[in-house]
Chains A and B, each alone.
Chain A
């Protein structure tokens, strides 16, 4: 039945695939698929749980080679040599089956990975039990009902670029007047920082000269107390120096600045550079050696969102799942630890967070059927301290007795298993690839998990916990204190990995310790960060998919007209899959008491299709077609009042505003556009104060710091890409709308505005102008008093 040379080619780790291959040969010869499965000797392989067995740590020069790596097992203090871990211990049911073959696997670590059991759609030739193996995909039948203009003739005359219904780049004011904002600013209070346990970041982030973590501080406000550059003089800003990272792909990373040294990391292959933050002199660079095949499992360009600093070390992740520590002074490698497996579709793209003597890193791969995890590593050794999964039994999610569910539907044992079809949680996504915030007072970390897999929700009935969930975990143990699922049974790829700002706000006469989550689902969540209970959740952009967020149940009330039944085209779904805002982080000014939110304004057509799980390939099952939201514009930069729950002003942009932002005590806010403008606006009014035309579109994160010459600088990486912008530098056809997971439809004209880039841009006010403007500012400030 199978040709001899193929049988030999199938090695032990590929046994699961051997079943598939055998099934195909049956398809070709008309034999019963069931008989083919008997040819495989190792069907058990498909049941093993992937997990920390893939971890290995290497410290150059460490005595005896590899150090011990701790396996995160709740309630035990199990330690094992990395070699032992590849036996694939299944902690969920104790079904450990080390075999001779398992031992053989350890000889080649790169292949020693358990394969989750494949799941195939009906009609797929891979479906062992499928009776329709010979018929076409169900998708084809349903096409008949789609009212497609099948007889439409070729190439009609193109219309000119449409005139935008609403002007771009102009500010619309909605709420508080500048006077009202002035009044708030006079009430500005800043609390003294609590010393963080075992971290430099808290002290450094209070020093306005530094930018020690991507979000500036643990509360993730991206606010700088520097005011040398202010509303009066920002117009004089000029380029001070530049540096090319040499790799054209989306530049999403935030530069860090510690003691006048700037640290930046580029997209794959994730090269790191340390530069004098004042002169731009290159001090050192470090090139990891990620596996190029990782490119093939990175869903949305080969980006990274930054690196971390603590205790004289720099921490990075590579696209192929390594965490690496470098000596910040010399660039020398201190340790590297493998955290995941590209053959299971796992990548790492987030900026790690350093706190509590640890590094926190989550995986990416929600489009590849990964199982999401957050991992804490020891800063000194690279050992894994704990790993908490987003799905699966409580023992692996690290939900224990100290867990308090904020709402009824989030109560119960092992919801990470019970809210899924059997075993689906093993490939169910929930990758936490976004931002981690940290509260030193309670020693808790806060982050959100990503979308469930596949996007086709019909294949995973249930709430699919704990995907699209905000987790509050103890930093030391990973133990979950509370978890709030934002989009139970997500229908639209609304990852909720977006930033969480930890703000103490005066709400209804009380100071509330809040967590603000700028939801991908278009709602601004203000939550009690001690309990996960909602204080408010109001839409901040066009939303048609959700009617409202029910504050009693904590659940969104979905629009029943938009149920994405299999193969049905659902139209005008707003926000589109990237949400009303994606990963690009917001800022908050304690002076204006406003949030500054870069975001998109997109809707979409959406059609679910059946999809089968094949490890290392996409697990999506949706045809998506995005386009501009009402008004014809595609992005917006807005100021939002989290207490009044309303938009104060907004600037419409042609393309999604996919850059981060920073706001300063000089009342200036910076952001970049995908059509190559870096802009500075008045934080009170939204008035445009300065703009700079750069080489490529912006999707990076602006930061600000003080150089050794005492001057304030603004830095940002320039180079368009990412999910939205890859069309400008990668091989994506603007004429086929469903490309880039449907983002092509909304970005198809971007290549007429920009190509990719790889430039670090640093701006300052020239010395003479600076002196004059500072004097003016002081004069005005004095006059105001």
Chain B
């Protein structure tokens, strides 16, 4: 790097420092839109995927799921989850497989409704197909509602401990229980043996 370039870079660094100070003082929070009305595409464009914003400017467009108050949305979402083969990759109840689990609050690309909406609509380069061309936005918002519902795992601690002793519960498996709230129906962990529900209820036909 020449001396000239170096000094330019240094000057630039000082300028950025100034922006940082300004940025910290002014969070950018766009106005919320009307409740129940889908956000416009331009508002969705403001949703960041990264949590590092240069200048430390906090961009937080408050985009609620427009079907958040529609109690039937999760049921429609469950139907779409099966019909568009989401279940083929993410498995029944979002257990995970070809695609990551959706059952444990953990979302690689963000857990806000708008993040999940964008993941479905745009796809992600590590395998998630881009569904925005195929699915209308109301279908995607229903899917978001369902996914938020199945992700609601009991989480007694911040991180996750894995050990034979730490395994406590499992969901009642989907062949016996079809529900948009699978974490309401659990049973003791089976350690690779038959599901407890079957054994306990005498459904073992053997």
> What residues make up the interface of A, taking CB atoms closer than 8 Å to B?
5-6, 9-10, 14, 17, 20-21, 24-25, 28, 120-121, 123-126, 136-137, 139-140, 143, 146-150, 152, 154-159, 161-162, 292-300, 367, 569, 571-572, 605-607, 609, 611-612, 614, 616-620, 623-625, 627-628, 632, 634, 655, 726, 730-741, 744-749, 751-752
Contacts and interface: CB of A to CB of B under 8 A. Distances in A.
Nearest to B128: A296
B85 A148 contact: no
A262 B123 CA distance: 39
A149 B201 contact: yes
B129 to A, nearest CB: 6
Nearest to A120: B83
A161 B206 contact: no
> What are the 3 closest A-B residue pairs judged by CB atoms, nearest first?
A618-B88, A296-B127, A739-B95
B175 A607 contact: yes
Interface stretch (B16-24, B54-62, B177-185): B177-185
Interface string B154-185: 10000000111011111111111110001011
Interface stretch (B28-36, B110-118, B189-197): B189-197
Interface stretch (B4-12, B45-53, B63-71, B97-105): B97-105
Contacts of A292: 125-127
Contact of B93 (A14, A617, A632, A738): A738
Given A158-B168, A611-B88, A14 B133 contact: yes
Contacts of B132: 9
**Most chain-A CB neighbours within 10 Å: which of B126, B162, B178, B182?**
B178
Contact of B188 (A157, A295, A625): A157
B144 interface: no
Interface residues of B, number: 78
- Interface of B, secondary structure class, is loop
B92 A738 contact: yes
B101 A605 contact: no
B191 A614 contact: no
B175 A736 contact: no
Contacts of A121: 83
Contacts of B197: 148-149, 152
B44 interface: no
Nearest to B124: A296
Given A158-B188, A159-B189, A619-B88, 16 more contacts: A24-B139, A124-B83, A139-B82, A143-B177, A147-B176, A149-B176, A161-B164, A296-B98, A296-B126, A605-B173, A619-B85, A625-B173, A744-B97, A749-B164, A751-B162, A752-B164
A736 B187 contact: no
Contacts of B122: none
A158 B188 CA distance: 5
Nearest to B106: A731
Contacts of A149: 172, 176-177, 185, 187, 197, 200-201
B109 interface: no
A421 to B, nearest CB: 19
A736 B101 contact: yes
Contacts of A607: 175
Given A299-B98, A739-B95, A159 B195 contact: no
Contacts of B172: 148-149, 152
A749 B203 contact: no
26 contacts: A5-B41, A17-B134, A25-B136, A28-B136, A28-B138, A137-B83, A139-B178, A149-B201, A156-B169, A159-B189, A162-B193, A296-B126, A296-B129, A571-B198, A571-B203, A617-B88, A618-B88, A627-B192, A732-B100, A732-B101, A733-B101, A735-B153, A736-B173, A738-B93, A748-B191, A749-B164
Nearest to A2: B136
Nearest to B185: A152
A469 B204 CA distance: 33
B2 interface: no
A366 B84 CA distance: 18
Given A125-B83, A152-B187, A738-B173, A730 B193 contact: no
B79 A155 contact: no
Contacts of A299: 98
Contact of B82 (A137, A367, A628, A748): A137
A154 B156 CA distance: 14
B152 interface: no
A293 B125 contact: yes
A299 B85 CA distance: 13
B169 A744 contact: no
A713 B90 CA distance: 42
A731 to B, nearest CB: 4
B133 A10 contact: yes
B129 A617 contact: yes
A572 B93 CA distance: 22
**Most chain-B CB neighbours within 10 Å: which of A300, A618, A632?**
A618
B138 A740 contact: no
Given A24-B139, A149-B176, A571-B204, A732 B190 contact: no
A735 B201 contact: no
B92 to A, nearest CB: 4
Contact of B95 (A5, A147, A161, A736): A736
Given A295-B126, A571-B205, A739-B96, A150 B175 contact: no
B101 A739 contact: yes
A620 B88 contact: yes
B177 A148 contact: yes
**Most chain-A CB neighbours within 10 Å: which of B95, B135, B163, B200?**
B95
A731 B127 contact: no
A462 B56 CA distance: 63
A295 B127 contact: yes
Contacts of B190: 627, 737, 745, 748
B143 interface: no
B103 A625 contact: no
B201 A150 contact: no
**Most chain-B CB neighbours within 10 Å: which of A605, A606, A628?**
A605
A614 B128 CA distance: 14
Contacts of B128: 296
A748 B196 CA distance: 14
B205 to A, nearest CB: 5
Contact of A736 (B96, B167, B184, B204): B96
Nearest to B203: A147
B93 A140 contact: no
Contact of B193 (A20, A126, A146, A632): A632
Contact of B184 (A154, A162, A741): A154
A738 B95 contact: yes
Nearest to A151: B185
B84 A617 contact: yes
A17 B134 CA distance: 6
Nearest to B41: A5
Contacts of A623: 92, 173-175
Contacts of A136: 75, 79
Contacts of B93: 736, 738
Contacts of A21: 133-136
A297 to B, nearest CB: 7
A624 B92 CA distance: 9
B192 A634 contact: yes
Contact of A628 (B123, B176, B193): B193
A226 B138 CA distance: 66
B95 A298 contact: no
B175 A738 contact: yes
Contacts of A14: 133
A749 B101 contact: no
Contacts of B138: 28
Nearest to A295: B127
A367 B88 contact: yes
B103 A605 contact: no
Nearest to A742: B91
